[in-house]
Structure 1
Amino acid sequence: MKTFSELTLDEQVGQRLLVGFDGTELTGDLRYLIDTLKVGGVILFTRNIESPEQVKELADALQGYAASCGLPPLFVAVDQEGGVVARMKEPLTVFPEGAPALNTVEAAQHFGRTTGIELSGVGFNMDMAPVLDVQPDGFSGVMEKRVFPGAPEDVGTLGVQVMACLEAEGVLSVVKHFPGIGRTTLDSHLTLPELDTPFAELMGADLLPFDTAFQAGASAVMLSHIRYTDIDREWNASLSPEIVKGLLRGRMGYNGVVMTDDLDMKAITCDMETAARQIFLSDVDIALICHRSDRYETLAETLKAMAEKFPGSHAISVGRILALKEKI
């Protein structure tokens, strides 16, 4: 695999893009995303999936085309949490109740191992899981059907088991949604939720599972789109220097790959140029955007301009991404 210095600036910038697409095969637009935008990864949704055999054929075609363009291997990602968020269906193993039913270490290991084997077998090398959000006792929020049961310590223990078992089978785990959305009732797909929970309270509960995962060597973390007003009153977490550079990387010492949640969500109220600048200034490595539009080009152009302005931090981010690709 090429090193950072062997990549052109356009290839370096492309590594920071993880994108969705339309279709179920290697289309002309997908080729363009790889050979021209030089994206570092793709994410599949139900619209891209017909069968395990078709997914494997698509994944192989994607990786083959990236290699023919002289690019590093692609992240081929999917949301496979089990329960209400599981893009791959039968004949793969279905865990209909998802994380709420994974209430023992053995259950978490079985999910992680089974999911890792099956995802790897059809060409995926990244799973946007596990969810490490904590739902307080007696609270009914937007994440109710997606969180592990129990106290923050239990969530951390179960999440790390899923994470480790996925990665043992060759599938990178992305823990989410930092710094925690278990207390929210509004959906960031539809609006910009705000959370006024005091920082000390977040530290004593919501952040504990993430700290456990970081201590266990979490490969990557996804940020939430929530605005945590006691930490940063201006920016939501995915665009916040206070949360990413200050809290995640500074106070908690995390030096792995950090990515946004989907920038198509309604919680992102600024334009894509502003979002790209904030991603760069916040020390976020990867911009995730899941629906094809000209915003892909806008992100790439703005990230390139920022990379030319701040080459040092850009090199560190791309270095993290390439190091993660070395794992697979």
Structure 2
Amino acid sequence: MNLSNMTPKDLAGQRLMVGFNGHEFNDDIRFLIQELRVGGLILFSRNIDTKDQVRTLTAQAQAFAKDCGLPRLFIAVDQEGGVVARFREGFTRFRGNPFVKTLEQAGEFARVTSDELGAVGVNMNMAPVMDVAFEPDSIMIERAFPGGPATVAELGCQVISTLQANGMMAVAKHFPGIGRTVLDSHFELPVLNAAPSVLMENDLVPFMAAKDHQVTGIMLSHILYEQLDSQWPASLSPA
């Protein structure tokens, strides 16, 4: 199937990446693929038990999508290392971005992670974090690379290049940057008043570098940037 012979329902569904409950391929997943025509699944800790279990789950999902006449699914996970790593048992435990100081360390994380994720049928890693932690109490202080915009860009792009060279799609996050907030946007709506010129010279530098490195995807943040859109957060804003 390609874009030219997709129905409007197919085209709409292919733009969705969805989560689900359970460790096994089940009727909920069948409905998401067959009826909603979704383009991707994202795995969380609630879906992960063992390597063999995940490998079976992803293989069954891909086979079912093929039987339904759909392209291969995007199968994603957040495997940043450190505090955000959905796969733990049986996977290499990295300390996380704050402890990555060299290009060699960034590349090693990406190489090992892409191999381990690919072995269980995951083809997209929701990483790297490209936010710059501007304040000591930033919500991203435990997840961001150390240093300013240029350093974050350099280390993050090494992760992107290595992941993608190993066949793993990379997703830079959280555009246009959440390193200035101390609030968790999963529970509250942070509001930032940074001028567009400030964002361009700082927060956006890593994301522009990611684009130059042909990153597969960019994840939007759930933050309201008052000087860009006073009504809607970035995830919903047409700005």
Per the TM superposition, whether the score is higher than 0.5 is yes
Report if the CA contact (8 A) 1:120-1:169 is conserved: no
Alpha-carbon offset, residue 157 of structure 1? 0.5
Q: Are positions 1:118 and 2:116 aligned together?
A: yes
Q: SS where residue 42 of structure 2 aligns?
A: strand
Task: Say which SS state the counterpart of residue 237 (structure 1) adopts.
Answer: coil
Query: In 1, distance between residues paired with 2:161 and 2:51?
Result: 24
Kindly state the Cα deviation for residue 99 of structure 1 after the two structures are TM-superposed: 0.5
Determine the C-alpha separation between the residues in 2 that align with 1:145 and 1:127. 18
Question: Where does residue 211 of structure 2 map in the other structure?
Answer: 214
Partner deviation per Cα, 1:4-60 (whole Å, 9 max, x = no partner): 111122111110110000011110111011101111000000100001111111000
Q: Is the 8 A contact 1:139 1:183 kept in 2?
A: no
2:15 partner amino acid:
R
Partner of 1:146: 143
Gaps of 5+ in 2: none
Counting only pairs closer than 5 Å after superposition, residues 1-328 of structure 1 correspond to structure 2 as 2-95=1-94, 97-136=95-134, 138-242=135-239
The aligned length equals 239
Aligned partner of residue 239 in structure 1, secondary structure = coil
Q: Is the 8 Å Cα contact of residues 130 and 175 (structure 1) preserved in structure 2?
A: yes
Q: Tell me the distance in 2 between the aligned counterparts of 1:218 and 1:48.
A: 26
Q: Give 1:103 shift.
A: 1.0
- Checking the alignment, whether the CA contact within 8 Å between 1:99 and 1:147 is kept in structure 2 is yes
Ranges of 4+ aligned residues in structure 1 off by more than 6 Å = none
CA shift at 1:139, angstroms? 2.8
- Preserved contact between residue 128 and residue 175 of structure 1 (Cα < 8 Å): yes
Contact 1:77 1:128 in 2 (8 A): yes
Q: In the alignment, residue 134 of structure 1 is paired with which amino acid?
A: V
Q: 1:63, 1:204 → 2: CA distance?
A: 42
Distance verdict in 2 for CA 1:139–1:199, change over 3 Å: farther
CA distance in 2, matches of 1:115, 1:188: 27
Q: In 2, Cα distance between the equivalents of 1:194 and 1:140? A: 16
Q: Which amino acid aligns with 2:133?
A: Q
- Scaled by the length of structure 1, what TM-score is found? 0.72
2:173 partner SS: strand
Identity of aligned residues (%): 51
Larger deviation: 62-71 or 163-172? 163-172
Q: Is the 8 A contact 2:127 2:171 kept in 1?
A: yes
Task: Assess if the C-alpha contact under 8 Å between 2:153 and 2:207 holds in 1.
Answer: yes
- CA contact 2:82–2:143 (8 Å) conserved in 1: yes
Mapped to 1, the partners of 2:152 and 2:114 lie a distance apart of: 20
CA distance in 2 between partners of 1:132 and 1:89 (Å): 22
Q: Are 2:139 and 2:179, in contact at CA under 8 Å, matched by a contact in 1? A: yes
What is the CA-CA distance between 1:196 and the residue it aligns to?
A: 0.8
Q: Do the aligned partners of 2:160 and 2:213 also contact (CA within 8 Å) in 1? A: no
Residue 151 of structure 1 and its aligned partner are, at CA, apart by 1.4
SS of the equivalent of 1:93 reads coil
Give the secondary structure class of the aligned counterpart of 2:235: helix
- The residue type equivalent to 1:135 in the other structure is A
Q: CA deviation at 1:90?
A: 2.5
The one-letter amino acid of 2:123's match is N
Q: Distance in 2 between matches of 1:232 and 1:9?
A: 30
Q: Is the 8 A contact 1:134 1:152 kept in 2?
A: yes
- CA–CA distance in structure 1, aligned partners of residues 191 and 198 of structure 2: 15
Change in CA separation of 1:139 and 1:197 when aligned onto 2, cut-off 3 Å: farther
Q: Is the 8 Å Cα contact of residues 35 and 66 (structure 1) preserved in structure 2?
A: yes
